[in-house]
Amino acid sequence: MEITHIPAGSRPANEIEEILAEVVAFDALINRASGLGDDFDPRADEVRQELLSPNEYTSHQTWIGRLGGAIVAKGIAYLTLQDNLDVADVWCAVHPDKRRQGFGAEMLTAMETSLVAQGRTQLTSYCENPESVRASEVRSAHLAAETGAGSLPAGQPDVAFLARHGFAFKQLERCSVAKTAVAASLPRVELDPGYTIETWSGPTPEHRLEQIAWLHQKMSTDTPGAEEFGEEESWDAERVRALDEKRRKNRELLGTALALKGDSAAGFTEVAHFDERPAVGWQGSTLVAREHRGHGLGAALKIANHVALGESSRVERIYTWNAVENSWMLAINDRGGFETWAWVGLWKKRLA
């Protein structure tokens, strides 16, 4: 197999355009084989950005494996550039007709060799199994997450691949989906005195940049299992602006709900959606700061944001992810009409 390494921004735009359709088609093939459904198909804008557009905070590196000129394997690494400089979030896949022939191992070895040379010695990864797959193998051998909460079928190809190649299964997440119409029918959550919720669409308003930056930084420390997947991130108003600009280039639209105690940030939730797939929303960051928990803000934020999206966009359904030990947030999701769609394993490997 011939492997080509493409760090974001290392190739001219015209060269990327020549291979873009082929790469997107391969990603779509992998998604269809996973059984996750059409909503999870790749978007050309997103793949283009991964190949072309690093910024001062984040970058991607892509590896493409060809056999006889056709793509048979792909790997990608997500890298933060301001913090966690020894960490890379990696994923690789092999064409369904070419599996069990060593191409996945060959691709992962090439990725690890390159990443170690760049000082990235802590790898994280993930695998996704539709609810129907996990349910059908309830009696088969399962691998338990190290958190002690949840498991995945040990014989599933992606589970077996990661375990065989030295990754430790750290945490299980539940992927759930809800219809925005459900939120409109739910009773509003009565907020405790002093708390308010604001919603908006699009980039972060200038007067809320500092609050959103603070909450993003808290996301790296205050979510279940955060200590396993990297150190505290550093966020400021400029980094939020850069993220908003990245979203603009990616034609990513955002609906945000922010909880405040006076003028201090207490929590937030974000949902992304795209014009080319207007019915689908993707739950982004959601957090209630530790000192503000126990006031019903998680449910209030999600319901308020879903209602706002239902009124201002064509979003019909929203997907979200939560650690299975995060019982309070799962209860909030259940209250908001979410139902299980898939299970996601989070993995970690130390190279040095």
Domain residue extents for the chain: 2-172+346-350, 178-343
Long-range contacts of 189-195 (CB under 8 A, 24+ apart): 189/296, 189/299, 189/300, 189/303, 190/296, 191/295, 191/296, 191/297, 191/300, 192/295, 192/296, 194/261, 194/262, 195/259, 195/260, 195/261, 195/266, 195/292, 195/295, 195/297
Q: What is the per-residue pLDDT for 349? A: 98
Q: What is the per-residue pLDDT for 352? A: 79
Q: What is the per-residue pLDDT for 221? A: 81
Q: What is the per-residue pLDDT for 281? A: 95
d(CA 352, CA 342): 32
Instruction: Quickly name the fold that domain 2-172+346-350 has.
Output: Aminopeptidase (3.40.630)
Q: What is the per-residue pLDDT for 105? A: 98
Strand partners, 269: 257, 286
d(CA 126, CA 302): 25
Q: What is the per-residue pLDDT for 250? A: 85
Q: What is the per-residue pLDDT for 288? A: 92
Instruction: Quickly name the fold that domain 178-343 has.
Output: Aminopeptidase (3.40.630)
Strand partners, 260: 196, 265
Which residue positions in the chain have pLDDT lower than 70? Answer: 223-230
Please state the separation of Cα 298 from the chain's center in Å. Answer: 19
Q: What is the per-residue pLDDT for 225? A: 58
Is 178-343 in the same CATH topology as 2-172+346-350? yes
d(CA 178, CA 281): 10
> Which of 336, 333, 347 minimizes the C-alpha distance to 175?
333
d(CA 76, CA 88): 10
SS3 of residue 115 by DSSP: helix
Count of CB atoms situated within 10 Å of the CB of 136: 11
Q: What is the per-residue pLDDT for 187? A: 73
Q: Which ranges constitute the DSSP H helices of 165-208?
A: 180-185
